[in-house]
């Protein structure tokens, strides 16, 4: 499965902890992330992460583009609800496109843990029907 990891600055430490805790599960999937989040996840886990631009510079939209093309299967976006974000319209668009395309989305640690545990049980296998690329190349992005 193709999994996007995004974290606002105040949540990056939580994302690192999440990625370290669930490294073995994440290792079986193709990971994508916005700039600094991807670098931190790679640094602390040793996992390979395809890094997009930082969120405010278009990274959220790059992930949204993959969602619109049914090339993203799950999004973990640890948001900071207490800090105004200068690119709030991009964030809202990413959340909306997840809803439009029925992409499992976690926006806090509690929902992220539910999704990752469901992923490990096979609860998200229905995405293989939606994302035909999964069966053809073992979840690897054709552009990566």
In this predicted structure, what is the pLDDT of residue 125? 84
* Whole-angstrom distance, CA of residue 79 vs CA of residue 14: 10
* Comparison of pLDDT for 125 and 34, the residue scoring more: 34
The string of pLDDT tens digits covering residues 110-119 is 999 999 999 9
Q: Is 90 a catalytic residue?
A: no
Nearest to 116 by CA among 73, 80, 79: 73
Give yes or no for residue 37 having a pLDDT over 70.
Answer: yes
Catalytic residue among 9, 60, 90, 99: 60
The string of pLDDT tens digits covering residues 42-97 is 999 999 999 999 988 999 999 999 999 999 999 999 999 999 888 888 899 999 99
């Amino acid at each position: 499965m193709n999994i996007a990891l995004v974290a606002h600055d105040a949540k990056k430490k939580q994302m690192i902890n999440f990625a370290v805790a669930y490294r073995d599960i994440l290792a079986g999937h193709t990971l994508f992330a916005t700039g600094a989040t991807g670098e931190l996840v790679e640094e602390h886990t040793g996992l390979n992460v395809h890094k997009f631009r930082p969120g405010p510079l278009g990274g959220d939209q790059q992930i949204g583009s993959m969602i619109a093309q049914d090339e993203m299967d799950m999004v973990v976006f640890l948001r900071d609800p207490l800090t105004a974000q200068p690119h709030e319209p991009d964030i809202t668009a990413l959340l909306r496109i997840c809803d439009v395309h029925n992409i499992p989305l976690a926006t806090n640690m509690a929902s992220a843990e539910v999704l990752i545990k469901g992923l490990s049980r096979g609860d998200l296998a229905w995405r293989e029907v939606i994302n035909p690329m999964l069966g053809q190349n073992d979840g690897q992005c054709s552009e990566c």
